[in-house]
Structure formats: structure tokens, C-alpha cells
């Protein structure tokens, strides 16, 4: 893999840890701004699907998904990054965790009115409901990773695993290295067809592509850092389950190590806030009623446990992991869709949440 020569000055100026934080913050800011402008949200796309239509939110989600898949696989094909070193492929995968966690996360994001990434973007725009739900998500994620829920998570994850490493789909199916970029291009074509039918603006589509491209940038940046770093550095990209828990512990625990994930969360928040202020959409939004608050907190807790069990959230498993063609990530994403659609049809009100309706009106007039 080619080593970018311009990382050595960054290491000398910031140190290896500081370079990782800076990369996470910069790429997070791109993600946050693009996600705020595109209204990217798996929950909104699954609601459209459950209600029997392929609308603008589905177009944006598909375009984000396809952009991440296409560029990540193209970079890997060109030798710019080595996905075999990524934990999502190098470590054992959990089939049971992906299935159970995906179902939990899908149900939780319907109740919480947004996936974990969307909650962070909404909170950065002044939404106090999303802020509280995001905090609950981070706390439960930490409890599932190292706290009282960790034994339960581990026992469920160990019910069915893939072995010494995860399964990479193109190799498992016996397909060549062109399979990933071709699959991404096919999903992108489908996204553009749906977007044309719904008259989604070019700027919205560009922002949606930016969300997916940020995922590919994350893979490229961490691969370059890992190749040049003296200390072991993980190859990873965007996710919000582990980083939310790590960021929470970073501000609570003295001496905690800073890395890519620690820079990611504030970077996303600042990028989304800047985009909201620029568009004159930043404003405080409070709570509705006790019943609504209860649903949101239950949903956030389900997402926290579900994401840790599934190996990632709607971004971490549903976009980042799938862009690496990790089998368990594709299974987790499928189960997220199943859990979301079932919860929407069985337990969710047919009317959209206030922030969803207002966001749709602004983005898709």
C-alpha cells in the first residue's frame, strides 16, 4: 500500500495520538455537515419503506450507502487501504449478535425517533430530546461494553460466531475484486432513480454522497495512520456506538487515551452545528409529553445494547461495516431494517415525529 508522505509532519506537530484525533475531528465535521444538510437517517428511510413508499429519505440513504461502498471498495481495489487489517474483518464476527442486536437497534431507532448518528446531528442543532436520548444511548452502550450488561452481551454474541476472522462477502461468494465497486454502482443507480421520481434536489444528493464519502475517507485516513504509526493503530472508520461510550468516559476519566474516535464525536457535532447555523435552522427544541419521552428513552437504551451486540450502529455496521463487505455487518443491517419496519407497523404512531416532518419540509419541498 502506498504511504502518503505528508503524514510525517502531522505526526511531528501533533504526535501520533493527536494526528488520530485531528483526523477523526475533520472527517467527523464533514460527516456532520453533510448529514445535517441531507437529513440522512436510516430511521426515516425505514419509515417510508414500512409505509409502502420509496420516498426522498430512501433515496438519500441509498445514495449514502452506495457512495461509502463504492469508494471504499475502489480504494481497496487500488491498494490505497488494506481492509484485511480492519477489526470488522480481522476479528471473529458474531452471527447471533448481528441478528439479535440488529433487531434491537432497528426497533430502538423507531421509538427514539432517530438512529444514534441522527440523534447527534439533531442535538447539535439544539434538539434537547435528541441530546437526552443520545446520552442514554452512550451510557447503555458503555454498560454493554464494560458494565453490568457486558456478560449478557458477551453470552449472546458467543452463541454463533464466524470463527477466527469475520467473513468477507466477495471472497466467500467466490467473486472477484470488482464485485464491491460494481455493487456500489448498482445501488447508486437505484438511488438516483428514486431521487428523480421524488424530485430530490442536486444539493441534497450531493450532501448525501458526502456522508458516504466521509466513511471512505475514514478508512483511508486510519489506514495511512496505521501504516506510518510506531504504535499499533486500528484501521477503522465512522461509527457511533463505541465512540459515544469512549467519549463519555474520556470526559469522566482522567488520563484516558485520545484517538480517532475521541475526535469523531465533537467533530460531527461541530460540523452539524455549523451547517444548522449557516442554514438558519439552529434552535432550541424541548420535550413533548411524558409518553413521548418514555418511548425515546426506551428506544435509546435498545439502540445502546443493540449496537454493541451487533458490532455497530446504523452507521458503524449499516454503512461502515457493509462498505468493507463484512458478512455480519450486512446481516446486522438487514435485521435493523426488519426490526424497524416491524416496530413501525406494530407499535409506532402513523404520524411523523415533529423534527422528521419539519426536516422533510425543508429538505424536500
Range 209-232 average pLDDT: 91
Lowest mean pLDDT among 5-9, 122-126, 279-283: 5-9
Q: Is the pLDDT of residue 117 over 90?
A: yes
Phi-psi region of 114 (alpha: psi -120 to 50; beta: other; left: phi over 0): left
Confidence of residue 251 (pLDDT cuts 50, 70, 90): confident
| Cβ–Cβ < 8 Å for 241, 313 | yes
Closest CA to 293 of 140, 129, 136, 141: 129
What's the mean pLDDT in 200-213? 97
Annotate 302-365 with DSSP letters as a single string.
Answer: HHHHHHHHHTS-TTIIIIIIHHTTBHHHHHHHHHHHHHHHHHHHHHS-SSPPHHHHHHHHHH--
> pTM, whole model, 2 decimals?
0.91
Q: What is the pLDDT of residue 6?
A: 58
User: Where is 202: in which H helix or E strand?
Assistant: helix 202-228
Higher pLDDT, 80 or 344: 344
Q: What is the pLDDT of residue 227?
A: 85
Mean pLDDT of 90-107: 97
Q: Is the pLDDT of residue 171 over 60?
A: yes
Q: Is the pLDDT of residue 295 over 50?
A: yes
The answer to which of 122-131, 204-213, 244-253, 302-311 has the lowest mean pLDDT is 244-253
Q: Given the C-alpha cell 426490526, which residue does it identify?
A: 339
Phi-psi group of 113: left, alpha or beta (phi > 0 → left; psi -120 to 50 → alpha; rest → beta):
left
pLDDT of residue 349: 59
Which one, of 235, 228, 241, lies nearest residue 260 by Cα? 235
Report residue 285: phi and psi, to 5°.
-130, 125
204, HSE (Cβ side, Cα atoms, 13 Å): 26
The band of 100, judged by pLDDT with boundaries at 50, 70 and 90, is very high
Question: What was the pLDDT predicted at 359?
Answer: 43
| Cβ 49 vs Cβ 58: under 8 Å | yes
Packing angle of the helix pair 42-50, 327-347 (nearest 10 deg): 60
Amino acid at each position: 500500500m502506498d504511504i502518503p508522505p505528508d503524514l510525517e509532519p502531522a505526526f511531528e506537530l501533533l504526535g501520533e495520538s493527536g494526528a488520530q484525533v485531528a483526523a477523526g475531528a475533520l472527517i467527523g465535521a464533514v460527516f456532520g455537515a453533510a448529514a445535517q444538510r441531507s437529513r440522512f437517517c436510516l430511521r426515516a428511510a425505514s419509515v417510508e419503506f414500512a409505509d409502502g413508499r420509496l420516498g426522498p429519505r430512501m433515496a438519500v440513504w441509498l445514495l449514502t450507502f452506495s457512495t461509502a461502498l463504492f469508494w471504499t471498495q475502489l480504494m481497496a481495489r487500488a491498494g490505497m487501504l488494506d481492509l484485511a487489517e480492519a477489526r470488522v474483518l480481522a476479528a471473529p464476527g458474531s452471527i447471533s449478535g448481528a441478528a439479535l442486536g440488529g433487531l434491537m437497534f432497528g426497533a430502538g431507532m423507531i421509538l427514539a425517533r432517530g438512529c444514534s448518528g441522527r440523534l447527534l446531528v439533531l442535538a447539535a442543532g439544539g434538539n434537547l430530546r435528541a441530546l437526552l436520548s443520545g446520552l442514554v444511548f452512550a451510557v447503555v452502550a458503555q454498560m454493554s461494553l464494560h458494565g453490568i450488561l457486558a456478560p449478557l452481551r458477551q453470552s449472546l454474541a458467543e452463541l454463533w460466531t464466524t470463527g477466527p476472522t469475520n467473513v468477507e462477502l466477495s471472497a466467500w461468494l467466490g467473486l472477484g475484486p470488482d464485485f464491491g465497486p460494481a455493487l456500489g454502482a448498482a445501488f447508486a443507480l437505484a438511488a438516483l432513480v428514486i431521487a428523480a421520481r421524488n424530485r430530490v434536489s442536486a444539493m441534497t444528493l450531493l450532501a448525501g454522497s458526502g456522508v458516504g464519502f466521509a466513511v471512505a475517507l475514514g478508512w483511508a485516513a486510519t489506514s495511512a495512520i496505521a501504516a506510518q504509526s510506531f504504535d499499533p493503530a486500528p484501521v477503522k472508520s465512522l461509527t457511533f456506538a463505541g465512540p459515544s461510550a469512549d467519549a463519555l468516559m474520556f470526559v469522566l476519566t482522567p488520563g484516558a487515551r485520545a484517538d480517532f474516535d475521541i475526535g469523531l464525536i465533537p467533530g460531527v457535532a461541530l460540523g452539524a452545528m455549523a451547517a444548522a447555523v449557516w442554514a438558519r435552522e439552529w434552535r432550541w427544541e424541548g420535550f413533548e409529553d411524558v409518553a413521548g419521552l418514555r418511548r425515546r428513552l426506551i428506544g435509546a437504551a435498545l439502540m445502546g445494547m443493540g449496537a454493541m451486540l451487533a458490532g455497530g450502529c446504523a452507521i458503524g455496521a449499516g454503512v461502515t461495516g457493509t462498505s468493507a463487505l463484512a458478512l455480519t455487518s450486512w446481516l446486522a443491517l438487514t435485521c435493523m431494517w426488519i426490526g424497524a419496519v416491524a416496530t413501525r407497523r406494530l407499535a409506532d404512531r402513523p404520524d411523523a415525529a415533529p423534527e422528521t416532518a419539519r426536516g422533510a419540509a425543508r429538505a424536500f419541498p
